[in-house]
Amino acid sequence: GAIGGGLAQAQEAELDPNTWEEVTSYCNFYEFGTGKTDPASYAGQMTTSPWEVEIDGMVDNPGTYGFDQILSEMTLEERIYRFRCVEAWSMVIPWQGFELADLLNLAGVQEGAKYVAFETLLRPDEMPGTRYPVLDWPYREGLRLDEAMNPLTIMATGIFGKPLPNQNGAPLRLVVPWKYGFKSIKSVVKITLTDQEPPTSWNMANAREYGFYSNVNPEVDHPRWSQASERRIGGGLFSRRQPTLMFNGYEAEVASLYEGLDLTKNF
């Protein structure tokens, strides 16, 4: 697709993407197992066509949207974003997708909606990891409406100019580049507009460690990992750590969303 937007263009120019192999072989997608290579090994069995997304809640046009129908309405563009996992590793990924705001506008967000909730496919016969209670399935995530409408927030359909591989969340996933990776929910089948903060999977599993916001913040430590620095995937056995950037380097674009909010309490 054409390169559009204009946002984050300055950063894009200096970002050097990881390789296809790195992005597609090192994944967290617990529906296929907790090992980093499990998704690449087992996600192939997930049926991604046909694919439908149910959009419901406080929208004017609730209903089931086919993946092809969504694509026909959206303009795809490339976004090269930093991707920072809460486990303190990171990548740079060239995504193709469209702004989530465009999809939400298609559904028609009603007055009073404050949050957007997302759900991942739950199909145990194709997702071996869901046979174990690692998390309370299906995987759920959520954003505040203004975060969802921010132009940086996209629904990705591809990487490196190719359709998303299953292990990366085919055929349609969220990408919120200033938040830890687990917020960028994969293989989305349901989007709900609501006026209540929606329950989110990792927050439900361990609220002390995973907040609703989960913005990348080098000053707020995760109880198990320091978030001050990160290791970029692909540097080999002697790779050096690099400092983590506030809001993963998107401070100029998103800091205003959190004005007046205590980020150590709302982590």
Partner 1 sequence: MDLTSVNSALRRVPSWLIYICGLAPAVWLFWLGLTGGLGVEPIKALEHRYGELALQFFIATLAVTPARRFLGLNLVKHRRALGLICFAYVVCHLLVWLLLDVQIPSQILADIAKRPYITVGMAAFLLLVPLAVTSNNVSIRRLGPKWRRLHQLSYPAALLAALHFVLLAKGFQIEPLLYLAAILLLLLLRVRIPTLRRV
Residue ranges in contact with partner 1 by CB under 8 A: 21-22, 25-26, 30, 34, 36-37, 89, 132-135, 205, 221, 223-226, 228-229, 231, 233-234, 236-241
Q: Strands 188-194, 242-243: parallel, antiparallel or unpaired by DSSP?
A: unpaired
CA atoms within 13 A on the CB side of 193: 28
Question: Cβ closer to partner 1: 50 or 133?
Answer: 133
At position 191, the amino acid (one-letter code) is I
Spatial distance between the Cα atoms of 121 and 127, rounded to a whole number of angstroms = 9
Q: How far is the CB of 156 from partner 1 (least distance, A)?
A: 20
At position 62, the amino acid (one-letter code) is P
Q: How far is the CB of 230 from partner 1 (least distance, A)?
A: 12
At position 253, the amino acid (one-letter code) is E
Q: How far is the CB of 167 from partner 1 (least distance, A)?
A: 13
Q: How far is the CB of 50 from partner 1 (least distance, A)?
A: 30
Phi-psi region of 187 (alpha: psi -120 to 50; beta: other; left: phi over 0): left
Q: How far is the CB of 217 from partner 1 (least distance, A)?
A: 16
The dihedral built from the CA positions of residue 159, 184, 233 and 6, taken in this order, carries a sign that is positive
Q: How far is the CB of 155 from partner 1 (least distance, A)?
A: 25
Spatial distance between the Cα atoms of 254 and 239, rounded to a whole number of angstroms = 30
Question: Cβ closer to partner 1: 223 or 260?
Answer: 223
- List 66's β-bridge partners, or say none: 52
Q: How far is the CB of 31 from partner 1 (least distance, A)?
A: 12
Q: Is the N-terminal amide bond of 50 cis, ω within 30° of 0? A: yes
Question: Cβ closer to partner 1: 13 or 237?
Answer: 237
Question: Cβ closer to partner 1: 45 or 132?
Answer: 132
Spatial distance between the Cα atoms of 156 and 2, rounded to a whole number of angstroms = 14
In terms of C-beta distances under 8 Å and separation of at least 24 residues, what long-range contacts does 3-11 make, across chains too? 3/77, 3/78, 4/75, 4/77, 5/77, 5/79, 5/99, 5/151, 7/151, 7/152, 7/253, 8/79, 8/81, 8/152, 8/177, 8/250, 8/253, 11/82, 11/249, 11/250
